Structure 1
Amino acid sequence: MNTRASIAAILAMALLLVSCKQPSPTLPVEPPKAQETTYTGALKRFGRLTREFRVGTLRVQTTQVQDETGSSQASGAEIPFDITKMIMSAINSIGGSIVFIPYDPIYIKNQAALNMTTLEGKVKPDVVLNGGITEFDRALESGSSGLDFGGQFGAGKNSPGVDFGKQDRDSVSSITIDLNVTDVETMVMVPRVQAVNTMRVFKAASDLDIGFSIFGATFGYKSSVKKIQGRHAAVRVLVDLSVLETLGKYLNLPYWKCVDQGAKPDPVVMENVREQFALADQQGRVRMIQNLLYVYGYRSLRSTGTLDAETGAAIQAVSAAYGFPAASLDEDFYENLFLNAPVLGEKSRVAGSGAVAAQATAGPALVSRAPAQSTQPGVPLSVQIKTDKAVYKQGEKIRITLSGNKDFYGKIVYVTADGQTVQLLPNGHRSLDFFKGGRSYTVPEDSDGFSLDVAPPYGAERIVLYASESRLPAVKTRSLGETGMLSVEGGAQALKGLSRGIKISEAKPAAPPVPTEAREAAPPMKPQQAPGASAEVVEQSVLITTKAK
């Protein structure tokens, strides 16, 4: 009996000594690393996609985006209150044709007060992203399970015994983010261009207890583990996905390929693509097809709007290589052409096209952006043209901004100090002459192959915009060499004919239908422009002064 008591005393003392030891847990040491989500790579690929489709520069801004549920404060910041910075980082990580414009009026005002900056030269955004965290439902599902076991072996009060217990608990919460796109010029939300995404986050805990008793002494082991999927990390994943989705819808690009080449197409994008093709006139449809054929590798094919032999041969080669019919160049054909476009490093199956789509260079945009409800039947066309400042010095670059309340065709003409008349747009670098209503355009854009640099002679100069709801007649011009600019023969007198109205003749059926000029789809004939009617030409101008340094 004394022996048993001695053993028990020794065990008790050992346990006591162990318990008195100062605990010294070992913590892992990890170097800092870049924060990446499931969609970080997809955002970068989307930037690449905008280049491959030759999208014009899109300037994006965001308002303050916050938790609209109030849960961030009620739950002790379990979810973030303000996610604006996350959205800014997501947009800025895209690159390509996407440019982020910060919104910080207080900073700009303070800088101006210190004479460190002015509003001149500041870039205006095209669209604004707005939204918020709209749902945070905690413990949507919860449950627990456990196992208990205990027993004594032998008879008597000193017989050994064991106790075992295990308890598991789990719960599921849900977070939802809404993002919408607003057109800055009209301050109208772009219909159906939005993202509403939900993510479920899990929480689990497990407890384990084991106890032993020997000769009246009891000792055991206890473990408790809790794992929670990060709410803040989940919000960042939702932000990345939502930014990708909203901008992809706005630009009508196959953004889902940035996530997975085999992903299901977005029905909103596909509906817009089909509708734009259906509404385009015959020439516009052919342009749309020619622009997509560029992605397939036909780099020498020009976007003329004419279904020539080269275009026809390219259509037949692509349809044969990808296995879709080309007997009728209708919406179904264009949808197949759009969906099968080889992008993001995918090689074209067309032999001899000379293409790896990823090698596309900047040029006129291929895609039309989502409509912003700009058509206003019965309202006269009104246009604006302005420059980033009124006085320019030698070597400075001129940036022109133009917009209209309705879709229009336009020519931009520059009257120099010595009376020379130069057609700035369309020119040898940029053939675009169609502009969507309610949008602001910059000439030149960052992706254009030219710039407007101030050079002699100096003095009072004028930039004129001629605009009409139907295509403007051509004027006789001659090339000014590698600049791509065109000198108008006959000067200002030759341009007076533009203001005498334009006759619209009924379109004659040509070859099978086919989709749009890269940047914007040419619109169908409007109801108020019946065949034979006269379309008014609107003239607006802005005066500038140029001088030597």
Structure 2
Amino acid sequence: MLGVVITVASWLGGCATPLDARKDREFQSNAHVHNRPTHRPVRSFTSFSDSLTCMDHMLRAADMPTTLITSKYIPDYSGRVSVATKDMIITALSQMSRVSNAFRYVDFEVELTRQDTVQNLTTILLNNNQLRLQRPALYLSGAIAFVDQNVINNRWDMGTSASRLETGYSANRNATLLGLEMHLGDFRTRTFIPGLDSSNEIIIANGGQGLDLAGRISDYGVHFNVGRDYTQGVGIATRTLVELAMIELLGKWARLPYWQCLTLDQAHPDFQRQLRDWYNAGNASQHRSLVQRSLASQGYLPADVPLRESDSQELRLAVARFQADHGMVVTGRVDFTTYERALRQFVEIDEEGRFTRIGWETGGRATGWPPQTQHLAIDLQVENPVIDRTRFESGTPIYLSSSLSRSAHLYCFMSNGHGQVIRLLPNAAMPHALLSANQTVRIPDWMSPNPGFLLDAGQPGTETVGCFASTRDMAGLLPGLTEPPALSLLGGVQGIDGVQQAFTQALGEGEFASQRVQWQVLPAGPAMQAAPAPAAPSVAPPAAPSSPPASGGAR
């Protein structure tokens, strides 16, 4: 017995000596792989993410001019919610303005305690009167008002005991309430607008189950424990409240029927859970089949493409474009997020309040698919922040935007009062004609510091911009319209009617979509008459931001 003790002591003493790290070289080499995340990052979606998109299109349809808005710091008086509420507000406003450009957030707050490049430069330029901050019209104020923890707390425990066996079972459930108060104020008077407030609460729940077994066989004992728990996150709950508050406040302020965006089936809390159940019931091949049919119905794939049993380059590119258009992390793979976003238009709530699928079965074999292909339509708008967008003085900058209801090739042209035509799109800044569904193109891109060209009202008369879209690439079919450089005069074409006639001859009637807008150009005021506009649209680099454009047409 003494020999055994001496042997064990000697072994422990040997373990106390320093190890040779070189012997672990192969083990250490795995660190380069094991330090990486197991899953790809995903975009943060809530029940109201689609409601924000709905509000964006509603604001666009109402022709809401761009409004500058800011917010105060959103405190948490409970001290239990450590989230960046202000940044969630900025994200929600951005999602509501992607198409409509309804709101621009002014980063008006300067924090003296922060030491970063933007804050330091802002302080220096403000003190030297070299920075001009635009005054917002509205501001948001609010706070996380309360967190009532464990409002409901149920616990249940049971156990048995015997000479050689003991068992135990426990279960618990509890719920916490989180409240957010938000208000909308007039920045000029620093007064809150009566009735423009939002006060909402959300439940954060968690629960768990546990099982214990303990037994003894002769002199030996065995103990076994298993449990499962869930906890709903406070971060996503706060984001949900913020998005709901933005829809309510700004919908009331704009006097729009915002409640239509809150009654979407996708806003139901159980929507994603039900989609997850259907996703788990299928396999990868079934997921690809369903998503491919959905993408074909939305114009991301030709309707006659055969179903793929495995990934293909064409399908991956279509999935990647769909993911980019819908704000997801682009992977080109059909994961659950892509599956849920692609099939949500084919799910509705039945009369009994349950989610039901439209045109597809659990086995993945679609009935009646592909669904009715979405009609190709163009949404072409004048975006100048004025009430009357049909009359402009000569030399006035013109801002346009265009989007498509489904993926197609887009071509835009401009005609002056004499019928001379130039091509606006595609151009050097946007060389590709293929445009994704619901992707907005700004003409010119007034959000970019280097838009490539500027568009001004020319000589008095009528100017017209027409856009044409087709599922076919027109580069080889209409070389006279597509091959000359953009923003240069096109020979042999008279006005937008001539462009439409060329499309009709190449494709046939009804095989393409078209839309046009026009405005009357009025004589310039005294300040602009010093530099007369040219008779035809001209091309020149964009003017410096500090000086107004001096010539008409496209520059």
| TM class, shorter-length | 0.3 to 0.5
TM-score, normalisation: structure 1: 0.41
- What TM-score, normalized by structure 2, do the two folds share? 0.41
Higher-RCO chain (CA-CA 8 Å, sequence separation at least 6): 1
Rg (Cα) greater in structure: 1
